[in-house]
Structure 1
Amino acid sequence: MLLYKQKKNQAVKVNRFLISVTFLGSAGPIRFVVNEDELVAAVTDTALKSYAREGRLPILGSDLNNFILYCPIAGTEALSPWETIGSVGVRNFVLCKKPQAEKAIDSEKLPPISRKGSGSWKSWFNKSINPKISSH
């Protein structure tokens, strides 16, 4: 008696690849595997979560709406959050914060400046950076 193995329905093969996301101001890139049909917004979210999980500095936050993903090879335009990551055709990206619009400061709306405590900020600064040398 012969036993035949039934072939399982093969799922559609999804291309996956390793990408490298560099954060401005951080020591090095984060690398992880993504599907080529994943949205840029999902990749940005994954990168921010990985960055926070590793405890990297500077602390960036987790709101993906505050960040832009660039492809330094493809040009200076930011990637749209709704395009797929595989459509760019590259593996290296740069993630940085969106530039904040300069807010016009109206002097009439500013609260009055009050000075609390004694001394100036210069004396506080000098005291805080003064190296304390301990004898051994």
Structure 2
Amino acid sequence: MLLYKQKKNQSIKGNRFLISVTVLGSAGPIRFVVNEEELVATVMDNALKLYAREGRLPILGSDLNNFMLYCPISGTEALSPWETIGSVGVRNFMLCKKPQTEKSDDSEKTTAISRKGSGSWKAWFHKSLNPKISSH
């Protein structure tokens, strides 16, 4: 069995490295080893599986289409699920749920929701740290 594991590790191409994925609202980051050639979608899937396996709260679900992976130091744009994780050049990431839009017949309500949800995850994060600051 030991020889099999060694052969398996030798056949892996590319560099492997440890990454940290922080989930908004969770107690701490998830850390695991990835291959630099893995797709961002695969990394997100692995992070969601580890998160669920560890029994973390809040419960997130497992649908990749409901989440975005960010690199906090590179800006507010989410990473493309089709790029490789090694192409980003960092090891710390943030996993966020995509904003939910509510469907309504009242157009005023819809515009208010879209304006409210148009901020970045950084704005939401800072607002959640300082609940006394309001957007009025």
Coarse TM-score class (shorter-chain normalised): 0.5 to 0.7
TM normalised by structure 2 equals 0.68
Q: Name the counterpart of 2:96.
A: 96
SS at structure 1 position matched to 2:93: strand
Q: CA RMSD in A?
A: 1.8
Matches within 5 A, 1:69-88: 69-88=69-88
Q: Pick the structure with greater CA Rg.
A: 1
Aligned AA (1:47): A
Unaligned runs of 5+ in 2: 1-9, 107-136
Further displaced range: 94-103 or 73-82? 94-103
Q: Distance in 2 between matches of 1:75 and 1:105?
A: 34
Instruction: Kindly provide the CA deviation profile for residues 93-133 of structure 1, in whole angstroms up to 9, marking residues without a partner as x.
Output: 00010111232146xxxxxxxxxxxxxxxxxxxxxxxxxxx
Distance across 1 between alignment mates of 2:56 and 2:47 = 12
Letter in 1 for 2:73: I
TM-score, normalised relative to structure 1: 0.68
Which is further off, 71-80 or 10-19?
Answer: 10-19
Aligned residues: 98
Q: Report whether the alignment pairs 1:42 with 2:55.
A: no
Could you report, residue by residue, the CA deviation over 1:51-87 in whole angstroms, capped at 9, with x for unpaired residues?
0000000000011111000000111100000000000
Percent of aligned positions with the same letter in both sequences? Answer: 85
User: Whole-Å Cα distance in 2 between the matches of residues 19 and 43 of structure 1?
Assistant: 10
Corresponding residue SS for 2:42: helix
The alignment partner of 2:28 has SS state of coil
Higher helix share: 2
Listed one character per residue, the Cα deviations across residues 6-27 of structure 1 (whole Å, up to 9, x for unaligned) are xxxx757420000000000000
Q: Quote the Cα distance in structure 1 between the aligned partners of 2:46 and 2:13.
A: 22
CA distance, structure 1, for counterparts of residue 100 and residue 17 of structure 2: 33
Q: Deviation above 4 Å: which 4+ runs of structure 1?
A: 10-13
Mapped pair 1:58 → 2:55:
no
